[in-house]
Structure 1
Amino acid sequence: MRIAVLGAGGVGGYFGARLAAAGADVTLVARGRHLEAIRREGLLVRSALGDVRTAPDRVVGSVDELGPTDLVLVAVKLWDTEEVAKQLAPLVARGTAVLSLQNGVQKDTVLRRHLPERDIVGGACFIAAHIEEPGVVAHTGTLQKMAFGPYQADRRPLAEELLVACRAAGIEAEISDDIARVIWQKFVFLIGLSATTAAVRRPIGVIREDPRTRALLRDVMAETVAVARASGVALDEAFVDDRLAFVDTLPAAMTASMHHDLENGNRLELPWLSGGVADMAAELGIAAPRNQTIADVLAPYTLGTPRG
């Protein structure tokens, strides 16, 4: 299987490097100083599960430089999804499949505007990783899981081949027959992690230990479950307590990529995370006051740290 990873940041860089270290044919697509560093020395992933480094010649600067590819793992920020879908259209026309590991629940909807449904494989990942410096990705804790599943049955063999590659690389992975539900389940957790760590500006350990921020964490996830249920997704109301219990198993230092972006003055995925929950809730005629407040508080930082 020839795999391209579009977006070699925390998520894409980690999974791409793990797959490559196990012998998979992986090409990273990166840009800027990160691209330059990888071209010099390869991509280094630092992890409690063991460090790995890719070969310097396994990176390109654009989709146009990719050769024949069976699967593209999309791991760019959500605001780039529309443009990325357009760039991938020629590859997909030649038989390439696309699997998004991005945050949010709207990503595949955006891909479908430009790519055939048959060629989109649903996916979600569970990991805390970020670019520590150009050419280096840091993995926090040991959680590193992928779940994926085709929306159409004739792409099942490709999913099975990816599963074999993931397991050979030591990546926890599974094929889901209801990947849309899995994506929403991940979204509930992600909203809790991203909303609270960004708003409080501290890792999850601080948030879950304080009674008031723990209540905030539960509330933002409960609102997300309510939006899922109102959208027709089969999530039980008690799922929020399942996720809260899961949060209690995480490393205290774990945080969200949105928190890292906020701390570094970068653009935020806020409109697709808590902002997206608030917008979807409004369209459905239900309340999401906690997510709305998070979106309002962080609004000035959406495009990066404001001047002045």
Structure 2
Amino acid sequence: MVVVRIAIIGAGGVGGYFGAQLAANGEDVVFVARGAHGAAIREHGLVVTSDVHPQHLENVTVVEHPEDIGEADLVVVAVKLWDTDDVAKRLVPLIAAGASIVSLQNGVLKDDVLRRHVSAAGVFGGACYISAFIERPGVIAHHGAMQRIVVGEYDHSRSARVVDFVERCKAAGIDADVSDDIERVLWEKYVFLVGMSALTSATRLPIGPIRSNPLARRLLGEVMGEVLEVGRARGVDLDPGLVDERLAFVDTVAPTMTASMANDLAEGRRLELPWLSGGVVDLADQLGVDAPVNRTIAGLLAPFVDGQPA
């Protein structure tokens, strides 16, 4: 393969895990990471604990700011959603110079934010499926076996850049694929993610006891059902049976799995709630759709949205 430079913006659970796999396979990867985590990676390397692909990269290229990247062929955005607007502004020179950009963040409106600042042609869609968190500075903990990336062009074409990225991911041991309808993929993930984040956060429990309790499982399905209806009202081609399919998928994941928002809640950190259940409520209001369960979840967790209340 031709050597390309891949910039990973955010070396948390998502960026740290997938970036480490690509770097371990010989790809030219530069991480953007700040604070204690970035300092630990710079001094001691990047560690990924995983039952699937553990890594310890001793020599890691890491910078503090997107402006320090230099050149890149592909930019992978993996920061928290509230940082998207700021990051997009700072990536303008890289994208103008010909780099492509793909976001592996949560939510369904992330690429709309990117396209406010960079050329729409420079952006292709991406979704990832993984349970991974920063365990301590310099260490990423991957839980379970799930680690998957799906990418695709919004014009439904099978471009060389998405095929190339998937091939590089597969060579690095990442489960990856190209989708011909990436918007639908993003909404299918959103249905699952909003349900997982809502229930594991509201109950402070992993998915195992939630899925095995009839009342909690029913609530999980209701949260997902509201997301499905909002997506369909928005014009996304979502199968009416998607909720049942997503609930069946929930039964296959590790019982200890939690959403990243639940982990952030437990650690007293800021929450992506405004883009998850809160985002569903906002879209539902715009579209004239009811979303009472997500509205309740958003209200219950609202006091924690900026971190642990004083």
TM-score, structure 2 as length reference: 0.97
CA contact (8 A) 1:9 1:75 kept: yes
CA contact (8 A) 1:118 1:155 kept: no
Identity %: 55
Q: Structure 1: which 5+ residue stretches go unaligned?
A: none
Alpha-carbon separation, structure 1, partners of 2:193 and 2:57 = 28
2:174 is aligned with 1:175: no
- The structure 1 segments of at least 4 consecutive aligned residues displaced by more than 3 Å after TM superposition are 152-155
Match of 2:101 in 1: 98
Match of 1:237 in 2: 240
CA contact (8 A) 1:16 1:26 kept: yes
SS at match of 2:159: helix
CA contact (8 A) 1:40 1:56 kept: no
Match of 1:212 in 2: 215
Please tell me the residue identity of whatever aligns with 2:296.
Answer: T
CA contact (8 A) 2:22 2:169 kept: yes
Alpha-carbon separation, structure 2, partners of 1:57 and 1:227 = 42
CA RMSD of aligned residues (A): 1.1
Match of 1:151 in 2: 154
Match of 2:80 in 1: 77
CA contact (8 A) 1:188 1:225 kept: yes
Render the CA deviation track for 1:29-70: whole Å, top value 9, x for unaligned: 100000000001111010001311224441111111112100
2:294 is aligned with 1:283: no
2:261 is aligned with 1:258: yes
Number of aligned residues: 307
CA contact (8 A) 2:156 2:181 kept: no
SS at match of 1:192: helix
Alpha-carbon separation, structure 2, partners of 1:81 and 1:184 = 19
Q: 1:211 Cα deviation (Å)?
A: 0.9
Q: Which is worse superposed, 59-68 or 9-18?
A: 59-68
Alpha-carbon separation, structure 2, partners of 1:297 and 1:132 = 27
TM-score, structure 1 as length reference: 0.98
Alpha-carbon separation, structure 2, partners of 1:98 and 1:227 = 27
Alpha-carbon separation, structure 2, partners of 1:285 and 1:63 = 39
CA contact (8 A) 2:46 2:60 kept: no
2:252 to 249, 254, 257: 249
SS at match of 1:233: coil
Alpha-carbon separation, structure 2, partners of 1:92 and 1:195 = 35
SS at match of 2:91: helix
Please tell me the residue identity of whatever aligns with 2:150.
Answer: A
CA contact (8 A) 2:273 2:298 kept: yes
